[in-house]
Protein backbone atom coordinates (compact mmCIF):
# COMPACT_ATOMS: atom_id res chain seq x y z
CA UNK A 1 0.00 0.00 0.00
CA UNK A 2 1.40 3.41 -0.95
CA UNK A 3 2.39 5.82 1.82
CA UNK A 4 -0.36 8.45 2.01
CA UNK A 5 1.06 10.63 4.81
CA UNK A 6 1.47 13.28 2.10
CA UNK A 7 -2.31 13.72 1.95
CA UNK A 8 -2.79 14.13 5.70
CA UNK A 9 -1.34 17.65 5.91
CA UNK A 10 -2.52 20.54 3.73
CA UNK A 11 0.73 22.47 3.52
CA UNK A 12 3.97 21.02 2.22
CA UNK A 13 6.98 21.62 4.47
CA UNK A 14 8.75 23.65 1.80
CA UNK A 15 5.86 26.18 1.85
CA UNK A 16 6.57 27.03 5.49
CA UNK A 17 9.98 28.54 4.65
CA UNK A 18 10.44 32.27 4.21
CA UNK A 19 11.76 33.53 0.89
CA UNK A 20 12.41 36.66 -1.13
CA UNK A 21 9.37 38.53 -2.49
CA UNK A 22 6.99 35.99 -0.92
CA UNK A 23 4.41 38.72 -0.28
CA UNK A 24 3.82 38.74 -4.05
CA UNK A 25 5.33 35.51 -5.42
CA UNK A 26 3.86 32.58 -3.53
CA UNK A 27 5.93 29.87 -5.19
CA UNK A 28 8.29 29.03 -8.04
CA UNK A 29 8.24 25.79 -10.00
CA UNK A 30 10.31 24.18 -12.75
CA UNK A 31 9.15 21.03 -14.50
CA UNK A 32 11.25 18.95 -16.91
CA UNK A 33 9.53 16.52 -19.32
CA UNK A 34 11.45 13.45 -20.47
CA UNK A 35 10.72 10.12 -22.18
CA UNK A 36 12.52 6.80 -22.11
CA UNK A 37 14.06 5.73 -25.39
CA UNK A 38 12.59 2.63 -27.12
CA UNK A 39 9.28 2.87 -25.27
CA UNK A 40 6.05 4.33 -26.76
CA UNK A 41 4.78 7.56 -25.22
CA UNK A 42 2.38 6.84 -22.32
CA UNK A 43 -0.76 7.45 -24.37
CA UNK A 44 0.26 4.64 -26.76
CA UNK A 45 1.95 2.29 -24.32
CA UNK A 46 0.47 -1.04 -23.30
CA UNK A 47 -0.02 -1.91 -19.67
CA UNK A 48 3.12 -4.05 -19.78
CA UNK A 49 5.19 -1.26 -21.35
CA UNK A 50 4.05 1.41 -18.89
CA UNK A 51 4.81 -0.97 -16.01
CA UNK A 52 8.29 -1.53 -17.42
CA UNK A 53 8.86 2.23 -17.54
CA UNK A 54 7.73 2.59 -13.93
CA UNK A 55 10.07 -0.20 -12.85
CA UNK A 56 12.96 1.33 -14.79
CA UNK A 57 12.43 4.77 -13.24
CA UNK A 58 11.97 3.59 -9.65
CA UNK A 59 15.11 1.42 -9.89
CA UNK A 60 17.10 4.67 -9.92
CA UNK A 61 16.11 5.24 -6.28
CA UNK A 62 18.51 2.43 -5.40
CA UNK A 63 21.52 4.45 -6.56
CA UNK A 64 23.44 6.71 -4.17
CA UNK A 65 23.60 9.72 -6.49
CA UNK A 66 19.85 10.42 -6.26
CA UNK A 67 19.96 10.55 -2.46
CA UNK A 68 22.01 13.73 -2.46
CA UNK A 69 18.56 15.31 -2.85
CA UNK A 70 17.11 13.52 0.19
CA UNK A 71 14.92 10.49 0.77
CA UNK A 72 12.13 9.63 -1.66
CA UNK A 73 8.82 7.78 -1.43
CA UNK A 74 6.94 6.16 -4.30
CA UNK A 75 3.15 6.52 -4.40
CA UNK A 76 1.51 4.20 -6.92
CA UNK A 77 -1.76 5.85 -7.88
CA UNK A 78 -3.64 2.59 -8.34
CA UNK A 79 -2.95 1.86 -4.66
CA UNK A 80 -4.44 5.04 -3.21
CA UNK A 81 -8.01 6.33 -3.19
CA UNK A 82 -9.45 8.82 -5.65
CA UNK A 83 -9.83 11.26 -2.75
CA UNK A 84 -6.12 11.06 -1.89
CA UNK A 85 -5.29 11.55 -5.56
CA UNK A 86 -7.51 14.66 -5.59
CA UNK A 87 -5.64 16.01 -2.58
CA UNK A 88 -2.29 15.49 -4.31
CA UNK A 89 -3.65 17.55 -7.22
CA UNK A 90 -4.83 20.27 -4.81
CA UNK A 91 -1.31 20.42 -3.36
CA UNK A 92 0.18 20.67 -6.89
CA UNK A 93 2.16 17.47 -6.32
CA UNK A 94 0.58 15.71 -9.30
CA UNK A 95 -1.38 16.87 -12.33
CA UNK A 96 -5.08 16.15 -12.99
CA UNK A 97 -3.94 14.19 -16.04
CA UNK A 98 -1.84 11.82 -13.92
CA UNK A 99 -4.73 11.33 -11.48
CA UNK A 100 -7.42 10.77 -14.10
CA UNK A 101 -5.87 9.27 -17.21
CA UNK A 102 -2.56 7.58 -16.47
CA UNK A 103 -1.78 3.88 -16.78
CA UNK A 104 0.59 2.58 -14.08
CA UNK A 105 0.96 6.17 -12.93
CA UNK A 106 3.04 7.03 -9.89
CA UNK A 107 4.66 9.97 -8.17
CA UNK A 108 8.04 9.99 -6.43
CA UNK A 109 8.03 12.54 -3.59
CA UNK A 110 10.79 13.93 -1.42
CA UNK A 111 10.17 14.16 2.34
CA UNK A 112 9.40 17.90 2.25
CA UNK A 113 7.43 17.55 -1.03
CA UNK A 114 9.62 20.11 -2.80
CA UNK A 115 10.52 17.45 -5.39
CA UNK A 116 7.73 15.66 -7.22
CA UNK A 117 8.57 13.25 -10.04
CA UNK A 118 5.53 12.06 -12.00
CA UNK A 119 5.84 8.77 -13.86
CA UNK A 120 3.65 7.82 -16.84
CA UNK A 121 1.81 11.12 -17.02
CA UNK A 122 1.65 12.69 -20.51
CA UNK A 123 5.36 11.86 -20.66
CA UNK A 124 7.23 9.00 -19.00
CA UNK A 125 8.97 11.34 -16.61
CA UNK A 126 8.10 14.80 -15.33
CA UNK A 127 10.58 16.13 -12.79
CA UNK A 128 9.09 18.99 -10.78
CA UNK A 129 10.90 21.17 -8.24
CA UNK A 130 9.05 23.66 -6.05
CA UNK A 131 10.40 26.57 -4.01
CA UNK A 132 8.71 29.22 -1.87
CA UNK A 133 8.77 32.81 -3.06
CA UNK A 134 10.66 34.03 -6.11
CA UNK A 135 13.32 31.35 -6.56
CA UNK A 136 12.79 30.18 -10.11
CA UNK A 137 16.53 30.10 -10.82
CA UNK A 138 17.13 27.91 -7.76
CA UNK A 139 14.27 25.62 -8.82
CA UNK A 140 15.85 25.25 -12.27
CA UNK A 141 19.28 24.39 -10.83
CA UNK A 142 17.81 21.61 -8.72
CA UNK A 143 15.57 20.25 -11.49
CA UNK A 144 18.54 20.22 -13.87
CA UNK A 145 20.72 18.39 -11.35
CA UNK A 146 18.04 15.74 -10.74
CA UNK A 147 17.56 15.40 -14.50
CA UNK A 148 21.30 14.77 -14.87
CA UNK A 149 21.08 11.89 -12.36
CA UNK A 150 18.22 10.25 -14.24
CA UNK A 151 19.94 10.75 -17.58
CA UNK A 152 23.04 8.98 -16.22
CA UNK A 153 20.92 5.84 -15.76
CA UNK A 154 18.26 6.14 -18.48
CA UNK A 155 18.57 6.72 -22.22
CA UNK A 156 16.21 9.58 -23.06
CA UNK A 157 14.34 10.05 -26.34
CA UNK A 158 16.43 12.76 -27.96
CA UNK A 159 16.85 14.16 -31.46
CA UNK A 160 20.01 16.06 -32.42
CA UNK A 161 18.00 18.74 -34.24
CA UNK A 162 14.79 18.92 -32.21
CA UNK A 163 16.09 18.19 -28.72
CA UNK A 164 14.14 16.15 -26.15
CA UNK A 165 11.09 14.46 -27.66
CA UNK A 166 7.77 14.72 -25.83
CA UNK A 167 4.15 13.64 -26.27
CA UNK A 168 2.97 17.20 -26.81
CA UNK A 169 4.76 19.20 -29.54
CA UNK A 170 4.67 22.32 -27.35
CA UNK A 171 7.17 20.69 -24.97
CA UNK A 172 9.65 19.48 -27.60
CA UNK A 173 13.14 20.94 -27.34
CA UNK A 174 14.22 21.65 -23.79
CA UNK A 175 11.11 20.09 -22.24
CA UNK A 176 11.31 22.81 -19.59
CA UNK A 177 8.29 24.59 -18.11
CA UNK A 178 9.06 27.23 -15.52
CA UNK A 179 6.33 29.07 -13.65
CA UNK A 180 5.64 31.32 -10.68
CA UNK A 181 2.41 31.70 -8.71
CA UNK A 182 1.75 35.39 -8.07
CA UNK A 183 -0.69 37.23 -5.80
CA UNK A 184 -1.61 40.45 -7.62
CA UNK A 185 -4.57 42.05 -5.81
CA UNK A 186 -3.43 45.66 -6.18
CA UNK A 187 -3.05 45.36 -9.96
CA UNK A 188 -6.58 43.93 -10.08
CA UNK A 189 -8.03 46.67 -7.84
CA UNK A 190 -6.37 49.45 -9.82
CA UNK A 191 -7.53 47.84 -13.11
CA UNK A 192 -3.98 47.52 -14.44
CA UNK A 193 -3.99 43.74 -14.56
CA UNK A 194 -5.30 43.50 -18.14
CA UNK A 195 -2.55 45.72 -19.52
CA UNK A 196 0.16 43.89 -17.57
CA UNK A 197 -1.00 40.42 -18.60
CA UNK A 198 -1.35 41.46 -22.24
CA UNK A 199 2.26 42.62 -22.19
CA UNK A 200 3.29 39.33 -20.60
CA UNK A 201 1.68 37.29 -23.37
CA UNK A 202 3.53 39.33 -25.99
CA UNK A 203 6.93 38.17 -24.72
CA UNK A 204 6.24 34.44 -24.99
CA UNK A 205 4.77 33.82 -21.54
CA UNK A 206 1.38 32.35 -20.62
CA UNK A 207 -0.97 33.41 -17.83
CA UNK A 208 -3.17 30.78 -16.19
CA UNK A 209 -5.11 30.14 -13.02
CA UNK A 210 -3.90 28.42 -9.89
CA UNK A 211 -4.23 24.90 -11.35
CA UNK A 212 -2.59 25.65 -14.67
CA UNK A 213 -3.96 25.29 -18.18
CA UNK A 214 -7.72 25.65 -18.41
CA UNK A 215 -8.16 26.82 -14.81
CA UNK A 216 -9.66 30.14 -13.73
CA UNK A 217 -7.63 32.80 -11.93
CA UNK A 218 -9.38 33.08 -8.55
CA UNK A 219 -8.32 34.89 -5.41
CA UNK A 220 -6.10 37.22 -7.49
CA UNK A 221 -3.69 34.31 -8.02
CA UNK A 222 -2.03 34.07 -11.42
CA UNK A 223 0.40 31.48 -12.75
CA UNK A 224 2.99 32.94 -15.14
CA UNK A 225 4.96 30.44 -17.24
CA UNK A 226 6.96 30.07 -20.43
CA UNK A 227 5.22 28.94 -23.62
CA UNK A 228 8.30 28.34 -25.76
CA UNK A 229 10.47 25.24 -25.24
CA UNK A 230 12.01 24.96 -28.70
CA UNK A 231 14.51 27.44 -30.14
CA UNK A 232 15.68 28.76 -26.76
CA UNK A 233 18.17 27.36 -24.28
CA UNK A 234 17.10 26.48 -20.77
CA UNK A 235 18.99 29.51 -19.45
CA UNK A 236 17.19 31.83 -21.87
CA UNK A 237 13.80 30.45 -20.81
CA UNK A 238 14.55 30.94 -17.12
CA UNK A 239 16.12 34.39 -17.60
CA UNK A 240 13.17 35.62 -19.67
CA UNK A 241 10.66 34.51 -17.04
CA UNK A 242 12.80 35.95 -14.24
CA UNK A 243 13.12 39.39 -15.82
CA UNK A 244 9.39 39.64 -16.64
CA UNK A 245 8.29 38.51 -13.18
CA UNK A 246 10.70 41.03 -11.64
CA UNK A 247 8.88 43.77 -13.54
CA UNK A 248 5.45 42.48 -12.46
CA UNK A 249 6.62 42.50 -8.84
CA UNK A 250 7.60 46.15 -9.28
CA UNK A 251 4.21 47.03 -10.78
CA UNK A 252 2.34 45.27 -7.96
CA UNK A 253 4.41 47.01 -5.29
CA UNK A 254 3.81 50.39 -6.90
CA UNK A 255 0.07 49.69 -7.10
CA UNK A 256 -0.01 48.74 -3.40
CA UNK A 257 1.81 51.92 -2.44
CA UNK A 258 -0.64 53.95 -4.51
CA UNK A 259 -3.61 52.29 -2.85
CA UNK A 260 -2.22 52.98 0.62
CA UNK A 261 -1.53 56.60 -0.28
CA UNK A 262 -4.77 57.39 -2.10
CA UNK A 263 -7.30 54.94 -0.64
CA UNK A 264 -5.99 53.62 2.67
CA UNK A 265 -9.36 53.84 4.46
CA UNK A 266 -11.15 52.10 1.60
CA UNK A 267 -8.55 49.32 1.47
CA UNK A 268 -8.61 48.89 5.25
CA UNK A 269 -12.42 48.67 5.13
CA UNK A 270 -12.32 46.02 2.40
CA UNK A 271 -9.69 43.98 4.21
CA UNK A 272 -11.47 44.09 7.57
CA UNK A 273 -14.87 43.31 6.02
CA UNK A 274 -13.39 40.16 4.52
CA UNK A 275 -11.76 39.33 7.85
CA UNK A 276 -15.12 39.69 9.58
CA UNK A 277 -17.00 37.61 7.00
CA UNK A 278 -14.43 34.82 7.15
CA UNK A 279 -14.68 34.88 10.95
CA UNK A 280 -18.49 34.59 11.08
CA UNK A 281 -19.97 33.27 7.81
CA UNK A 282 -21.97 30.02 7.79
CA UNK A 283 -21.90 29.45 4.02
CA UNK A 284 -18.96 30.09 1.71
CA UNK A 285 -18.39 28.89 -1.84
CA UNK A 286 -14.83 28.34 -3.05
CA UNK A 287 -14.70 31.45 -5.23
CA UNK A 288 -15.77 33.82 -2.46
CA UNK A 289 -13.48 32.11 0.02
CA UNK A 290 -10.49 32.57 -2.30
CA UNK A 291 -11.32 36.26 -2.75
CA UNK A 292 -11.80 36.90 0.98
CA UNK A 293 -8.55 35.10 1.80
CA UNK A 294 -6.83 37.21 -0.85
CA UNK A 295 -8.09 40.38 0.87
CA UNK A 296 -6.83 39.19 4.26
CA UNK A 297 -3.51 38.18 2.77
CA UNK A 298 -3.15 41.70 1.34
CA UNK A 299 -4.04 43.12 4.76
CA UNK A 300 -1.24 41.06 6.34
CA UNK A 301 1.25 42.24 3.71
CA UNK A 302 0.22 45.89 4.26
CA UNK A 303 0.46 45.49 8.05
CA UNK A 304 -3.25 46.15 8.47
CA UNK A 305 -3.74 42.71 10.07
CA UNK A 306 -1.36 41.22 12.61
CA UNK A 307 -3.49 38.41 14.02
CA UNK A 308 -2.90 36.09 11.06
CA UNK A 309 0.15 35.02 9.02
CA UNK A 310 0.85 34.40 5.36
CA UNK A 311 1.58 30.73 6.13
CA UNK A 312 -1.92 30.39 7.62
CA UNK A 313 -3.45 31.91 4.49
CA UNK A 314 -1.44 29.53 2.28
CA UNK A 315 -2.71 26.63 4.38
CA UNK A 316 -6.32 27.82 4.20
CA UNK A 317 -6.14 28.05 0.41
CA UNK A 318 -5.49 24.29 0.34
CA UNK A 319 -7.82 23.31 3.20
CA UNK A 320 -10.87 24.85 1.51
CA UNK A 321 -10.48 22.69 -1.60
CA UNK A 322 -13.04 19.88 -2.09
CA UNK A 323 -10.64 16.99 -1.50
CA UNK A 324 -9.28 18.28 1.79
CA UNK A 325 -12.72 19.24 3.04
CA UNK A 326 -13.97 15.72 2.46
CA UNK A 327 -10.89 14.18 4.06
CA UNK A 328 -11.15 16.39 7.13
CA UNK A 329 -14.85 15.74 7.72
CA UNK A 330 -14.64 12.08 6.74
CA UNK A 331 -17.41 11.87 4.18
CA UNK A 332 -18.38 12.64 0.59
CA UNK A 333 -19.80 16.17 0.40
CA UNK A 334 -22.17 17.61 -2.17
CA UNK A 335 -21.59 21.18 -3.39
CA UNK A 336 -23.95 22.81 -0.87
CA UNK A 337 -22.53 20.78 2.00
CA UNK A 338 -19.02 21.80 1.01
CA UNK A 339 -20.04 25.46 1.28
CA UNK A 340 -21.27 24.84 4.83
CA UNK A 341 -18.23 22.85 5.97
CA UNK A 342 -15.85 25.24 4.22
CA UNK A 343 -17.34 28.15 6.16
CA UNK A 344 -17.15 26.16 9.39
CA UNK A 345 -13.48 25.31 8.86
CA UNK A 346 -12.56 28.93 8.08
CA UNK A 347 -14.69 30.27 10.94
CA UNK A 348 -13.06 27.96 13.46
CA UNK A 349 -9.61 28.89 12.17
CA UNK A 350 -10.23 32.62 12.56
CA UNK A 351 -12.09 32.46 15.87
CA UNK A 352 -9.50 30.14 17.40
CA UNK A 353 -6.80 32.75 16.87
CA UNK A 354 -9.01 35.57 18.11
From 82, 71, 74, select the one nearest 57 (Cα to Cα). 74
Binding residues are 27-31, 92, 126, 177-181, 208-213
Could you tell me if 319 and 205 are in contact, meaning their C-beta atoms sit under 8 angstroms apart?
no
> What does the DSSP 8-state code read for residue 209?
B
Binding residues for ATP are 27-31, 92, 126, 177-181, 208-213
Separation of alpha carbons 70 and 140, rounded Å? 17
Residues 6+ apart with CB under 8 A from 130: 12, 14, 27, 28, 29, 92, 113, 114, 115, 116, 139
User: In terms of C-beta density within 10 A (0-12 exposed, 13-18 middle, 19 or more buried), how is residue 349 classed?
Assistant: middle
Strands 115-119 and 106-110: antiparallel
Separation of alpha carbons 221 and 120, rounded Å? 29
Strands 72-76 and 176-183: unpaired
Separation of alpha carbons 329 and 33, rounded Å? 36
Residues 6+ apart with CB under 8 A from 12: 91, 93, 112, 113, 114, 130
Separation of alpha carbons 231 and 340, rounded Å? 50
Give the Å distances, CA to CA, from 323 to 70, 82, 123, 188, 205. Answer: 28, 9, 25, 29, 30
Could you tell me if 37 and 153 are in contact, meaning their C-beta atoms sit under 8 angstroms apart?
no
User: What backbone torsions phi and psi does residue 178 show, to the nearest 5 degrees?
Assistant: -115, 140
Amino acid sequence: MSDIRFTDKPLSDWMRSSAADSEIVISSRVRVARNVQSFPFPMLATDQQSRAVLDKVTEILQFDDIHQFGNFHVLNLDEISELDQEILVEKHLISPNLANESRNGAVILSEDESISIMVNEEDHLRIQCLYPGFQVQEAWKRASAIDDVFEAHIDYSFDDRRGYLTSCPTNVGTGVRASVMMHLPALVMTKQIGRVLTAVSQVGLAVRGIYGEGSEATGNLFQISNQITLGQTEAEIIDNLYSVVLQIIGHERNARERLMTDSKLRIADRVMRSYGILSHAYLMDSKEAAQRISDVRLGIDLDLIREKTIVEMNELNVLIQPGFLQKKFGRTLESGERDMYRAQLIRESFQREN
